[in-house]
Amino acid sequence: MPPTNSKNDDALLERAAELIRGTTNAIAVTGAGISVESGIPDFRSAHGLWARYPPDQFATMDAFLRDPDKVWEMWYELAENLQGVKPNPGHYALAELEKMGHIKAIVTQNIDALHQHAGSKTVIEYHGNTDQIACTACFRHRKMDLSHRALGAPRCECGGVMKPDVVLFGEVIPEYALRTSDMLARGCDALIVVGTSAQVYPAAGLPFLAKESGAAVIECNTEPTNFTNVITDVFLQGPAGETLPKLVERVKSVTD
Ligand code: NAD
């Protein structure tokens, strides 16, 4: 494949639409970028969460075990930011592609449940979600409760420290998510990767796996990434909330 060019022009949109029209088993892999237009900051941009909460101090299992109260400050803030947040046109566009029979599943690194709120049915939450918290001692689950914020890290009835049911750096991806995503990536004809900086593995490996297995890779991002000049066939540069709805319209308008 020739290298992609970075203009979200008509020919690129048509090429992406053609790939999607021809498939009933595409998958989408999404990252924090798709939710930026819903008002949730991503991690790595200048105003992202990492600017205030360095990952080595807030997002690793070691940091959590060292000082759970401190790490919970970030989780309470994130969970509070997620309250009342709504899906944006990018989430709805992917839900529509699933309804039209082109996309089989979404593998998301996000923990905001916005794909489900937009109506997507098959969503694999690769890094868990903020809805539930789990005891690190007895593994009992309960719902996230923001009213406990002033008390620091919530405690289980057994005395163990509770942790949000999300995957921190240094933890393994849940077995079901790992296996299913691998299988979907190996079996798809097209993979749409949206709003991810391609830096967090193993999620960032899925587009490479799909490409190796013969799939076309369509990438939608405001900036080029480590995928762009290596495996991306069609790069649609721009905000996902604008680009993805245009793509859906183009998929619908079959040209002769
Ligand atoms: P990241 O912050 O590393 O990268 C975000 C990517 O999105 C960048 O490449 C950026 O150029 C792109 N982007 C920004 N705005 C965009 C837009 N409007 N349209 C399209 N692309 C846009 O995010 P990541 O790769 O997903 O990895 C960070 C980790 O943080 C993930 O594991 C994820 O679980 C977690 N996270 C989740 C949320 C959420 O649930 N909404 C928010 C922040 C971080």
- Residue whose Cα lies nearest atom 37 of ligand 1: it is 110
Q: Give long-range contacts, CB 8 A cutoff, 24+ apart: 16-20.
A: 16/218, 16/234, 16/236, 16/247, 16/250, 17/247, 17/250, 17/251, 19/189, 19/190, 19/216, 19/218, 19/233, 19/234, 20/97, 20/102, 20/190, 20/192, 20/218, 20/247, 20/251
Say if residue 180 is in the same domain as residue 104.
Answer: yes
Contact between 89 and 11 under an 8 Å Cβ cutoff? The reply is no
Say if residue 15 is in the same domain as residue 120.
Answer: yes
Ligand 1 center from residue 39 Cα (angstroms) = 12
In degrees to the nearest 10, what's the CA dihedral of 12, 123, 41, 8?
A: 0
> Any idea what the CATH number is for the domain that residue 78 is in?
3.30.1600.10
State which of 42, 86, 197 you would mutate to test the pocket of ligand 1, scoring each by most atoms of that ligand within 8 A of its C-beta: 42
Say if residue 97 is in the same domain as residue 69.
Answer: no
Ligand 1 center from residue 74 Cα (angstroms) = 17
Ligand 1 center from residue 42 Cα (angstroms) = 4
Ligand 1 center from residue 19 Cα (angstroms) = 25
Say if residue 110 is in the same domain as residue 219.
Answer: yes
For residue 24, the model assigns a pLDDT of 96
Residue pLDDT tens, the chain, 256 long: 434 444 558 999 999 999 999 999 999 999 999 999 999 887 766 676 777 888 888 889 999 999 999 999 888 888 888 888 999 999 999 999 999 999 999 999 999 999 999 999 999 999 998 889 999 999 999 998 888 787 889 999 999 999 999 999 889 999 999 999 999 999 999 999 999 998 889 999 999 999 999 999 999 999 999 999 999 999 999 999 999 999 999 999 975 4
The ligand 1 atom nearest the CA atom of 45:
2
The C-alpha atoms of residue 105 and residue 123 are separated, in whole angstroms, by 6
Say if residue 47 is in the same domain as residue 95.
Answer: no
State which of 43, 116, 181 you would mutate to test the pocket of ligand 1, scoring each by most atoms of that ligand within 8 A of its C-beta: 43
Q: Say what the pTM is.
A: 0.91
> Any idea what the CATH number is for the domain that residue 5 is in?
3.40.50.1220
Residues catalogued as catalytic: 127
